[in-house]
Structure 1
Amino acid sequence: MRALRRTATVLAALALPFTALSAGAGTAQAASMPQGEFQWAGDSGDGWDDRAVWYNPTVYGDTIDVTASADRSSLRVVITRPGDSWTMDLAAPAGQPLAPGTYADAVKTPETAGTVLDRPSMFVNGYHGGCATLTGRFTVKELVFGEGSAVRKVDLSYQQDCDDRGLLTGYLMASDVTPPKPVVLGVTVNGSGKLSATGGATVSGTLTCTKPVKVAIGGSASQEQPKFVQGSLGAEVDCVPGRTLTWQAPVTVHTPETDTPFVKSEPLKVLGHASATDPDTAQYVSVSADRWVKLR
């Protein structure tokens, strides 16, 4: 195994705002991180520039983005700093989700997108480029997936031996590096509604969402009669992702007088909306659906 030669000059030039790197590559211990830390070290003179550490976020503008494939079998990591960038691709053998454990005898990530192998694959690459073939191994200590392709937490170390470069070792520790996607709502209003005996109405529609959330259905309904008649509607639905739910809401007349009824002879103009507060981001989300509704 090639010896790793690390230069103090590079470390001093980086002047990163944290300490606690241990002597053994891939086993460093870091201070508490708000988001992430990426480190690599290679042989002197092989183009890897010996050693560097990224920390996210810092005054240098570092970013560490980690996303998973749809089947959670691989990770794509992009590490950037103004004027510099690295990428890391790690994948489990075909048909296996990536999980904590050691993946030995890894080969280079296939260049053709969508190609899967029956053995682990990896490629850690900087802007210097180059690495025709490689052998390597990586150990996933912790991996927590989020919604979709999001990765909530990852802790791993790696070792990569290119055929035309020196040994490269390092680690990645990151948490909440892929912000959760906001909930997406979908709402429709049915084209027919029901006139009540008291002159009010009931309207209905469908609702969809991308994550479990309590959704408020609201809006207004009006008719252009000899008098302008308007009412408000409201309901709450516990939305379930992957399902199209039916909502139903009463419309209470409130203008011009509460005793002015809706009539069947004229369509009801419904201005509806669905809204919710995202449980992950606390973001308020709203979507509207307007329709002329015939009362029966």
Structure 2
Amino acid sequence: MPARAAVRTAAALAVTALAVPLAAAGTAQAAVMPTAEFMWAGDSGDGQTDRQVWYGPVFEDKIDVTASADHRTLRVTITRPGDSWTMDLAAPAGQTLAPGSYANAVKTPEMPDVVLDQPSMFVNGYSGGCSTLTGGFSIKELEFGEGTAVKKIDLSYTQDCDDRDELRGYLTATNVAPPKPVGLTMTVNANGTLSKAGKATVKGTLTCTKPVKVDVGGSARQEQPKVVMGYIRTQVNCVPGKTFTWTSPVTVHTPETDTPFIKSERLAVFGWVSTTDPDTKQYVSVSADKWVNLR
């Protein structure tokens, strides 16, 4: 079986090879994302015939590590299309998980409220099932974050189920705390501008907590006494730590596209800014409204 160091070296070279074109392209750097490796290997006779499988960023596998609120237990989930694993680890009752060896571990109780006086574990994925087991795990490094977050972990494990031969492997992970979604703020200025032709322009500010392209949109409405309505639309390349000004003309769509605005303190503007988070891929949007003075 290849040495653990060899597996990590090959993985690191693969990650480096993938990263070079991205850096050369000059793409924006997103927030630090979780990175992790998980490996299992089985002995001959366990149905896998000396098979070993590695999971990590090269294959875009997802590895999440979460601690219990009291830091006594850990739950690890590893997923890739068509394949999934879980790892449950627990310290004895009254203890918290910390660097060190946890020998003579038994199977994690199926009832979540059951707490044992000895270490427990269960690494489950291939073939499934395991009524009883003996095993152990050794934690080289472990750093908790806020709440149930885990910042860093490095451990190795062995597990011998009653119905198969020994399973062994390792887990390493850093920055495992889930990335926070991008934060956006928006304002609409109280004063807009009006051209001699009756074209209105409004502006405001926005901020972000990650480098993203932000879409700015919204609507504007003015009663003259007839109602004139339009929309605002623009984009801003936002970076954290700076307040950006957005400016957009109001494009009239009701009652006619060439209807002019007039001087007034009663231009009702409802605006929004939105983006797709580069890390979580979630759509994020915030809004703001204002009575705008057109002069």
Normalising by structure 1, we get a TM-score of 0.54
| Counterpart Cα distance in 2 of 1:57 and 1:213 | 22
Q: What does the per-residue CA deviation read over 1:103-129, in whole Å, with 9 as the maximum and x for residues that have no partner?
A: 333221222346544543211123322
Q: For 1:96 and 1:219, how far apart are their aligned partners in 2?
A: 55
Structure 1 distance, partners of 2:39, 2:289, is 56
Per-residue CA deviations over 1:175-194 (Å, capped at 9, x if unaligned) read 567863533669999xxxx9
CA contact (8 A) 2:183 2:209 kept: no
Q: Does 1:45 align with 2:48?
A: no
Q: TM-score, normalised by structure 2?
A: 0.54
- Give the SS at the match of 1:30: helix
The residue aligned with 1:124 is 123
| TM-fit CA distance, 1:39 | 2.9
Shift of 1:90: 2.1
Question: Aligned to 2:9, what secondary structure does the other structure show?
Answer: coil
Pair 1:31 & 2:9 matched: yes
Distance in 2 between residues matched to 1:188 and 1:112, nearest whole Å: 51
1:54 is displaced (CA, Å) by: 1.8
Q: CA deviation at 1:170?
A: 1.6
Number of the residue aligned with 1:261: 264
Cα contact 2:106–2:132 (8 A) shared by 1? yes
- Superposed, which structure 2 residues align to 1:283-294 within 5 Å? 286-289=284-287
Q: CA RMSD in A?
A: 5.7
Structure 1 pair 269/121, CA: closer, same or farther in 2 (3 Å)?
farther
* Counterpart-to-counterpart distance in 1, 2:109 and 2:186: 42
- Cα distance, 1:274–1:114 mapped onto 2, change above 3 Å: farther
User: Aligned pair in 2 of structure 1 residues 81, 102: CA closer, same or farther (>3 Å)?
Assistant: farther
Report the Cα offset of residue 52 of structure 1.
Answer: 0.9
Q: Does 1:224 align with 2:227?
A: no
What CA distance in whole angstroms lies between the structure 1 residues aligned with 2:282 and 2:64?
A: 26
Contact 1:271 1:288 in 2 (8 A): no
CA deviation digits over 1:55-110, x for unaligned, max 9? 4356xx6735223146354122325575x554322234456654433333322122
Question: Counterpart in 2 of 1:102?
Answer: 101
Provide, for residues 228-274 of structure 1, a one-character-per-residue CA deviation record: whole Å limited to 9, x for no partner. Answer: 59999xxx9x99xxxxxxxxxxxxx99999982315xxxx6341325
The count of aligned residue pairs is 246
Q: Which runs of 5+ in 1 are unaligned?
A: 1-5, 7-20, 196-210, 240-252
| Unaligned residue ranges in structure 2 (runs of 5+) | 16-34, 192-207, 233-237, 242-248, 252-258
Work out whether 1:138 is the aligned partner of 2:137: yes
Shift of 1:157: 0.5
